[in-house]
């Protein structure tokens, strides 16, 4: 019987096996013609889905992690991904930035729009590659410069979507790209040590988590008007949207809980170096730890209270604003982020209940999401059977790969830094 105790040697050995199997399953995603492809349930490429920016950024990032863990074939994948992000079909050499989708058989799916969500993963990939010693300086600087075009200094948040030539800005605002830009900026801070990354990440967390999530009983709104008022009914006519679903998305509360633990550590590092977290709200962040850790715990508590199914196991995908379940399907990325949140909170609090949740989450993932070839089924129904209401195939490696690493590497830095230090024998 598999053991899932967070610090057991047997469990960590099993996690190592899962890492290996995931990387092996994802190998066919590499397209010799350029970039990475969407995979179907069996792990075969789906060329008709086109090249998608979020997939290519995540695959390149994942290859960096795999390389740092010692997998010999991953360096080639990193270089392949970097080359495609520099000059492939998603790169807009005329107006700058990156398209969201190109090369899809259905021309209506191809998009010249510039989206901060996808570009966040370009920054994540470039920052990871730089930390690992790959030649990604120019790509890193370019991603930061493009993202500056989305940054609204007046409200200290990132906008969502520009048209191709950056002349028309969509009025929609979303928390999801901002959350992933916090993730990317935390990694960027590890690359160059610039305070602005932590200042921006802190401003985003302050608005979305300290102010908005707390005002909604820790059910974080996903969608916003142009002035950043929550748009609670956005998406009511498209509840199965992959990236703009209706209601409150439980997995993002858990993802934020993990990122907040890392943000607090980065703030402490910056204060220790510079004396304070800078920016327009430095005075409000002198005691940031006083609200960040409780907020992370509140988000976790709300997620398991609202969404964990005691009878069938698993976490429902979304709720309404009183905690009623809207979408009871189980998504692989949600349980992966639950594993990450439980790990982070256990490490920083020592509270054994988080270790118990960690075991519960892993047991569900192992019993229901992980298949015989080591891949993760992306969507299940409430009874744990494969489903495809929102997702088809297995396009995403990043969430599952990270889940196999959270308990094996430190939680106060990125997994890239953790893997790099582990490779050098530094476990601090």
- Distance (Å, whole) CA 166 – CA 312: 48
From residue 400, alpha-carbon distances to 114, 184, 396 in Å are: 27, 18, 8
For residue 24, count other CB atoms closer than 10 A to its CB.
Answer: 15
Strands 173-174 and 161-162: unpaired
**Residue 114 in 3-state DSSP?**
strand
- Distance (Å, whole) CA 53 – CA 44: 19
Which among 180, 252, 332, 378 is annotated as catalytic? 252
Tell me whether residue 231 is one of the annotated catalytic residues. no
Tell me the sheet residues that pair with 30.
36
From residue 248, alpha-carbon distances to 88, 304, 306, 341, 342 in Å are: 35, 14, 11, 18, 20
Angle between helices 332-349 and 288-307 (to 10 degrees): 140
Tell me the sheet residues that pair with 102.
51
Tell me whether residue 252 is one of the annotated catalytic residues. yes
DSSP result, 197-262: HHHHHHHHHIIIIIIIIHHTTT----EE-TT--B-TTTTTT-TT-SSS-SSEEHHHHHHHHHHHHH
Six-digit token string for 169? 């800005």
Residues annotated as catalytic (active site), given as ranges: 252, 399
């Amino acid at each position: 019987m598999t053991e899932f105790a967070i610090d057991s040697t047997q469990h960590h050995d099993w996690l190592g096996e899962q890492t290996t199997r995931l990387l092996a399953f994802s190998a066919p995603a590499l397209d010799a013609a350029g970039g990475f492809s969407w995979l179907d349930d069996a792990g075969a490429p789906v060329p008709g889905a086109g090249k998608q920016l979020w997939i290519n950024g995540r695959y390149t990032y994942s290859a960096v992690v795999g390389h740092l863990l010692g997998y010999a074939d991953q360096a080639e994948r990193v270089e392949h991904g970097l080359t495609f992000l520099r000059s492939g079909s998603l790169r807009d050499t005329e107006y700058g930035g990156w398209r969201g989708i190109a090369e899809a058989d259905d021309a209506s799916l191809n998009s010249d729009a510039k989206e901060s969500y996808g570009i966040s993963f370009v920054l994540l990939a470039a920052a990871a590659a730089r930390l690992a010693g790959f030649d990604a300086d120019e790509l890193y600087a370019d991603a930061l410069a493009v993202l500056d075009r989305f940054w609204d200094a007046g409200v200290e948040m990132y906008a969502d979507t520009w048209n191709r030539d950056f002349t028309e800005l969509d009025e929609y605002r979303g928390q999801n790209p901002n959350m992933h830009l916090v993730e990317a900026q935390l990694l960027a801070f590890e690359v160059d040590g610039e305070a602005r990354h932590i200042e921006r990440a802190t401003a985003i967390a302050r608005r979305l988590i300290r102010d908005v999530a707390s005002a909604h009983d820790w059910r974080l709104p996903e969608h916003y008007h142009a002035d950043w008022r929550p748009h609670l009914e956005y998406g009511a006519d498209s509840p199965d949207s992959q990236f703009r679903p209706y209601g409150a998305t439980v997995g993002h509360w858990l993802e934020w809980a993990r990122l907040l633990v890392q943000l607090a550590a980065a703030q402490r590092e910056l204060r220790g170096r510079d004396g304070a977290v800078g920016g327009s709200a430095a005075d409000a962040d002198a005691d940031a730890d006083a609200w960040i850790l409780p907020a992370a715990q509140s988000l976790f508590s709300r997620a398991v209270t609202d969404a964990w199914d005691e009878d069938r196991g698993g976490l429902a995908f979304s709720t309404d604003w009183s905690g009623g379940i809207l979408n009871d399907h189980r998504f692989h990325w949600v349980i992966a982020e639950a594993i990450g949140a439980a790990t982070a909170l256990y490490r920083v609090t020592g509270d054994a209940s988080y270790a118990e949740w960690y075991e519960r989450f892993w047991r569900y993932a192992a019993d229901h999401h992980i298949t015989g070839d080591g891949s993760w089924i992306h969507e299940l129904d409430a009874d744990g059977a494969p489903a495809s209401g929102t997702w088809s195939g297995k396009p995403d490696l990043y969430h599952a790969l990270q889940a196999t690493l959270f308990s094996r590497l430190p939680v106060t830095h990125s997994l890239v830094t953790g893997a790099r230090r582990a490779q050098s024998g530094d476990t601090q």
